[in-house]
Structure 1
Amino acid sequence: MKRGYFLKSLGGLSLLPFVPKLQAQAPPGGGSNCILVPSETAGPFPLDLTANEYFFRQDIREDRVGVQMRQKVRVIGAGNCQPVPGVRVNIWHCDRDGNYSGYNSEEGLTYCRGYQITDDNGECEFITIVPGWYPGRVTHMHFQVHVSTQYSAVSQWTWPHAAVVDAVQTHADLYPEGPDPLTPEQDFAFNDGYDLQLASLEWDAVNGEYVSEYEVTVEGEGTVGIGYEERRTTEVMALGVNYPNPFSVSTALPLELLQPAAVHVTVFDLNGKRVWERDFGDLPAGAHTFDLGANLPNGPQSYAVQVVATTGSGRYLAVRRIARM
Structure 2
Amino acid sequence: MTAQSTGYVAGDHTIRLTLYVGTNGTFNSAATQITVTEVGTATLTYSSCGSAVFSYNFSAGEFAGKSGDILLTRTGATPAACVFGSSCALIPSETDGPYPLYSILSNSAIQRRDITESKTGVPLRVVLRLINVNNSCAPISNAAIYIWHCDKDGVYSGYTNQTGGVSTFGDTFLRGIQVTDTSGQAVFETIYPGWYTGRITHIHIQAYLNDVLTQGTAVITTQMAFPQDVTKVVYNSTLYAAHGQNTSVTSFAQDNVFSDGTTYEMATIAGDVASGYVATLTLGIAA
Give the shorter-chain TM-score range.
0.5 to 0.7
- RMSD (Å), alpha carbons: 1.8
**Deviates most, 40-49 or 53-62:** 40-49
The TM-score normalised by the length of structure 2 is 0.61
* 2:141 match: 85
Provide Cα deviations, 1:219-268, integer angstroms capped at 9, x if missing partner. Answer: 22xxxxxxxxxxxxxxxxxxxxxxxxxxxxxxxxxxxxxxxxxxxxxxxx
**Deviates most, 145-154 or 159-168:** 145-154
* 2:20 match: none
Provide Cα deviations, 1:77-110, integer angstroms capped at 9, x if missing partner. Answer: 1112111111000000000110010000110011
Structure 1 unmatched ranges of 5 or more = 1-32, 221-325
Map of 1:1-40 to 2, 5 A cutoff?
Answer: 34-40=88-94
- SS state of the match for residue 43, structure 1? coil
The TM-score normalised by the length of structure 1 is 0.54
Which of these residues, 178, 184, 193, is aligned with residue 261 of structure 2? 193
Q: Percent identity?
A: 36
Which whole-Å CA distance do the structure 1 matches of 2:172 and 2:241 have between them? 20
Report if aligned partners of 2:99, 2:159 keep a CA contact under 8 Å in 1.
yes
TM superposition shift of 1:36: 1.4
TM superposition shift of 1:168: 2.2
Which whole-Å CA distance do the structure 2 matches of 1:200 and 1:88 have between them? 22
Provide Cα deviations, 1:92-139, integer angstroms capped at 9, x if missing partner. Answer: 000011001000011001100001001110011101000100111000
Report if aligned partners of 2:206, 2:218 keep a CA contact under 8 Å in 1.
no
CA gap of 1:74–1:175, structure 2 versus 1, over 3 A, is: farther
* 1:216 match: 283
* 1:94 match: 150
- SS state of the match for residue 189, structure 2? strand
* 1:155 match: 222
Which of these residues, 106, 116, 126, is aligned with residue 61 of structure 1? 116
- Equivalent pairs counted in the alignment come to 186
Which of these residues, 178, 195, 199, is aligned with residue 137 of structure 1? 199
- SS state of the match for residue 259, structure 2? coil
Task: Find runs of 4+ consecutive structure 1 residues off by over 6 angstroms.
Answer: none
Report if aligned partners of 1:89, 1:118 keep a CA contact under 8 Å in 2.
yes
TM superposition shift of 1:204: 5.3
**One-letter code of the match for 2:133?**
A
Report if aligned partners of 1:86, 1:117 keep a CA contact under 8 Å in 2.
yes
* 1:42 match: 96
Higher Cα Rg, which structure = 2
CA gap of 1:110–1:151, structure 2 versus 1, over 3 A, is: closer
TM superposition shift of 1:35: 2.0
TM superposition shift of 1:158: 0.7
Map of 1:255-266 to 2, 5 A cutoff?
Answer: none
* 2:168 match: 106
